Amino acid sequence: MDPDGVEITGQKGDDTLRNAPHARFDCVVFKMAKRCTDVAVCEKACDYCYCWVCDKPWKQCASWKEHCLCDGGPEWNLRRQKHKRQQEAEQAQAQARATGRQQDMADPAEIRRRYENDAARQGGAMPRSDAEEMRREASEQQAEDEEVEQIFATYEPLHLDYGQPHPDAVVETTSLSFAQLPPITMHSNLPQGMQKPKTAANPYGGALSNLQIETVVYAGMRHSTELPNGNTAGFFLGDGVGLGKGRQLAGIILDNWNQGRKRHLWVSVSADLMQDAIRDLADIGAGHIEVINITKTPAGGKLDAGKNGFKEGVQFTLDEAFEKDKKVDAEIYARISQETFDQAVQENIDEFDMEPEEALEIGRAHV
């Protein structure tokens, strides 16, 4: 052990992390990995573990063999909401039956007739019983949850059958799920080990998930397509937050790098994101690809000129660099316009023998 390290030799009193009720996937005694599928590992639980789906101690869960795999993701949240609705509906039915038995003893038909008469005299509706109100709320909640379920659908690659699963659940709108991607006609040039689990011998295994590899493959298909005008087709990546777009871009660069295309341009909105680009490349085993900041390179200079010129790697720049070029063009245009204007005024003076003030006035009238 490191002599400067910390070693825990004992404890006393309550340990909140261990002794407070907690979901199975938050247990610190029997830890489980994200998206674990090994029932033998996940079904082990401490005395304070709760079933997150049933919201009760795990020993009282009738479906623990299945629910022990719960990691709190979106698909499990839907199951939790469905189970909650079922419980509320059963409670409402039980209360209705109990209420009905009590009313039978007090002539329920007579009680209801009195309610209806009073409601008719007052011009209002008959008040609902507690059981009816619970059923109404449960029905409305079920309709709302079903509407949410219909909005989103779990996303999984359709034509890609290799690679490690994404660490988090990914969804897309149900309407978008009907627009299927085209069949895969080629495969990436990424290292084969990336498709396998991470191990000591395979440190970059799973560095790109199957969803991210799918992006690299489709980008490669587009980059292999030639447009009618002779240009190479582009690829638009519109993934939301949390999908790892930086890693996907790094994967696209590595895929092209392994095919011999070793000059790339990375355009970003902030100079601070250059370090993120370097990190993303390193995280997928492409740390050997150099990232060069060219935002301060004078416009018009040849990047590959000279002994130390740019030969291969990634040129990192900002989108505002292109705006600066536009500003330079505008300044040049303004200077040329002024020179043209002055020349026209001088011609009026020479050709028509005008006074300078008069020639200047005529020139301004035609600007």
Q: Where are the domains of the chain?
A: 16-109+127-150, 171-299+310-318, 325-365
Mean pLDDT of 13-26: 80
**pLDDT score of 2 more than 60:** no
**Weakest-pLDDT range from 97-106, 172-181, 215-224, 299-308:** 97-106
**pLDDT score of 264 more than 70:** yes
Mean pLDDT of 252-268: 92
pTM, whole model, 2 decimals? Answer: 0.51
Tell me what pLDDT residue 340 has: 56
For 188-198, the pLDDT digits (tens) are 999 999 999 99
Tell me what pLDDT residue 305 has: 62
**Weakest-pLDDT range from 68-82, 166-180, 291-305:** 291-305
* Residue that wins the pLDDT comparison between 261 and 121: 261
What is the rounded CA–CA span in Å between residue 161 and residue 157? 7
Tell me what pLDDT residue 4 has: 64
For 88-136, the pLDDT digits (tens) are 878 877 776 776 544 444 455 666 666 666 666 665 554 555 666 677 6
Tell me what pLDDT residue 326 has: 54
Mean pLDDT of 274-282: 93
Q: What is the percentage of the chain residues whose pLDDT exceeds 70?
A: 66
